[in-house]
Amino acid sequence: MIKTISTHPIEGQKPGTSGLRKKTRVFMAPRYLENFIQSIWNGIGGVQGKMLVIGGDGRFFNAEAVQVIVKMAIAARAAKVVIGQNGLLSTPAASHLIRLRGADGGVILSASHNPGGEDGDFGVKFNTANGGPAPESVTDAIFAATTTLTAYQIAEIADIDLSTLGTVQLLETQVEVVDPVADYATLMEQLFDFDAIRALIAGGFRLRFDAMHAVTGPYAHEILVTRLGAPADSVLNATPLPDFGGGHPDPNPVWAHALMAEMMGKDAPDFGAASDGDGDRNMILGRGVYVTPSDSLAVIAANAHLAPGYATGLAGVARSMPTSCALDRVAQARGLECYATPTGWKFFGNLLDAGRATLCGEESAGTGSDHIREKDGLWAVLMWLNILASKGVSVAQVMAEHWRDFGRDYYSRHDYEEVDAGAAQALIADLRSRLPGLPGQVFAGLRVARAEDFGYDDPVDGSHTAQQGLQIFFEQGARLVLRLSGTGTAGATLRVYMECYAAGPEGLARDAQEALADVIAATDALTDLKTRLERAGPDVVT
């Protein structure tokens, strides 16, 4: 029944910012998925006698991949495998399930916000027993295992019925198919004031949640419609589709443009939100207002105590380094420790486990807390609804009050996607070598105060992570960050992050691109990036 199949290493199976991401067809090629899964098992010291959680965001090849992974877990003599019904689990629900069941880890199938489909992207992430993305020490061990692999093992059995809830015994492994939504929805009920939110909605507050044809549809329907009483049409694009309807399941003004248009239009609802392919990102909108993820994080830090799960306050907060400094201002005012980590949720794990941070966030629309060990899209939506219900004001008012109290960090990210990898790497390498000489130099009127190649010393386990982005501070209080994406599957993507601060009370209501015009010009002058990348401008501006 258990077959050992000889194989040889496949190049390039190195996990990036969030798991291994490749074109779907690459994952579908013979041995590709099997090699990587066997390397996970080998890299973590085997799965014999262990419990694993398995599920994915429903994209093309999800169902087939789940079958392979379960059969390989059975071959590796796992004690138990817990699978979301039909192979579905959002990333936050998987993280919660790992923690709830005390599992040893989990395999999540997703390329998150990357498009799906046969010509799109696919991905595999491994999460550890704390429910969080494997730290670098683990992904390094998995990658090392991919380079020496000689065989994989798989149980030769009929496909498992993933549609029926319940438990079956297959060889030494108990296979349990669970409702992917119920436990997660219950956790949300424990954290937020559902009565207050229900009353808000019953009072005529109108909301729209765009699931972008991805995994959050069933979660949003259960929580917002069934448990909170919102009308059924509050959830848009609620049925998960293997190709996400041909769209980018990335909740930002560019890719969620229909929702954006509705929220900026006449007679807009009070509140709009969206999530990404695997449900860990969020976008927050009010009538006529887009809340940047960095601002959302700061607003949540300032108001989380209004939600029952956070009534006793926050232990500390953390943001990824490119995320704006709006969070730092709240932390300073409230006497909270504020950490800056490299990009990627895995770097928050130790801070959350050690109780040093309660709330974490990234500029890329990821926000979350110590309730799980992943960022959590619907959690952020419910936190906002809880804040609005408690304060009894609009999103626009929340933002105006926040900027009045803390000042405003104008922020934008410009992405140059799928550019020539060599040119992008050379741009970063050249700028890195120029960093020591930059202080004092002036670019488009802005003088450099400090320039560094960001490295992170984890305060909990002492590990060091180098070269996590180039960070340039200008004397006028502006900041520029450049780094290469670690989630793309073609060429390279250069991310340029820019921010400047307005203390107020004047100048708090400007357009972000206009407010950042000097920093944008200084970036061009400093890097000459348009010429070097042969691009007229960025592909995506958020």
Of 200 and 318, the one with the shorter C-beta distance to ligand VG1 is 318
What residue 486 binds from Co ion, ligand VG1, none (CB within 5 to 8 A, per partner kind)?
ligand VG1
**Terminal C-alpha separation, the chain:** 52
Return the structure tokens found at 249.
């399941």
Nearer to ligand VG1, 48 or 425 (CB): 425
Asked whether the beta carbons of 373 and 130 are under 8 A apart, the reply is yes
Count of residues in contact with ligand VG1, rule CB under 6 A = 18
Select from 323, 325, 4, 386 the least CA-distant residue to 189: 386
Which residues 172-231 are close enough to bind ligand VG1 by CB under 6 A? none
- Residue among 113, 371, 373, 408 that touches ligand VG1 (CB under 6 A): 113
Q: Give me the least distance between CB of 315 and Co ion, in Å please.
A: 25
Q: Are 483 and 468 in contact (CB under 8 A)?
A: yes
Single-letter amino acid code for the residue at 296: S
Shorter beta-carbon distance to ligand VG1: residue 400 or 484: 484
Minimum Å gap between C-beta 281 and Co ion is 5
* Residue closest to ligand VG1 (Cβ): 112
Regarding 248 and contact with ligand VG1 (CB under 6 A), the answer is: no
Q: How far apart are CA 196 and CA 191, in angstroms?
A: 12
CA 50/CA 33 separation, integer angstroms: 21
Rounded to a whole number of angstroms, the minimum distance from the CB of residue 199 to ligand VG1 is: 32
Integer-rounded Cα Rg, in Å, for the chain is 23
Is 15 buried (19+), middle (13-18) or exposed (0-12) by CB count in 10 A? buried
Going by DSSP bridges, is the β-strand pair 121-128/105-109 parallel, antiparallel, or unpaired?
Answer: antiparallel
* 370 touching ligand VG1, by CB under 6 A: no
Pull the structure tokens for residue 179.
Answer: 């409702």
Sign of the dihedral through C-alpha 35, 41, 43, 45: negative
Residues of span 495-534 touching ligand VG1 by CB under 6 A: 495
Tokens matching residue 10: 């496949």
Q: How far is the CB of 36 from Co ion (least distance, A)?
A: 19
Task: Tell me which of 485, 491, 508, 521 binds ligand VG1, using CB under 6 A.
Answer: 485
The interface with ligand VG1 within residues 323-352 (CB under 6 A) comprises 343-345
Candidate list 18, 90, 95, 112, residue with the active-site label? 112
Can you read off the two tokens belonging to residue 354?
A: 């050690």
Q: Quick one: what does residue 343 bind among Co ion, ligand VG1, none, with the CB cut-off 5 to 8 Å set by partner type?
A: ligand VG1
SS3 147: coil
The one among 13, 15, 17, 270 contacting ligand VG1 by CB under 6 A: 17
Decide if 116 contacts 249 (C-beta within 8 A). yes
- Please choose which of Co ion, ligand VG1, none residue 18 contacts, taking the beta carbon within 5 to 8 angstroms, the exact cut-off set by kind: ligand VG1
- The number of helices, as runs of H, and strands, as runs of E, in the chain is 18, 27
| Residue in the structure block whose two tokens are 């207002």 | 289
Residue with tokens 């059995």: 157
Q: What is the DSSP letter of 142?
A: H
DSSP 305-368: GGSGGGTT--S-EEEETTS-THHHHHHHHHT--EEEE-SSGGGGHHHHHTTS-SEEEETTTEEE
The residue within the footprint of ligand VG1, chosen from 13, 471, 487, 527 (CB under 6 A), is: 487
Q: For residues 104 and 376, which CB has a smaller minimum distance to Co ion in the complex?
A: 376
From the list 277, 359, 349, 264, the residue with the least C-alpha distance to 310 is 359
For the bound state, the minimum distance from the C-beta of residue 519 to ligand VG1, rounded and expressed in Å, comes to: 19
Q: Is 240 in the site for ligand VG1 (CB under 6 A)?
A: no
Residues near Co ion, by CB under 5 A: 112, 276, 278, 280-281
Q: Which does 216 bind (CB under 5 to 8 A by kind): Co ion, ligand VG1, none?
A: none
Smallest distance, Å, CB 412 to ligand VG1?
14
Please say if 112 is a catalytic residue: yes
Pick 76 or 381: Cβ nearer ligand VG1: 381
Specify the residue, 18 or 146, whose C-beta has the smaller distance to ligand VG1. Answer: 18
Q: Which does 485 bind (CB under 5 to 8 A by kind): ligand VG1, Co ion, none?
A: ligand VG1
Q: Which position's Cβ is nearest Co ion?
A: 112
Q: Active-site residues: which are they?
A: 112
Residues of the shown chain interacting with ligand VG1 in the complex, contacts defined by CB under 6 A: 17-18, 112-113, 276, 280-281, 320, 343-345, 362, 364, 366, 485-487, 495
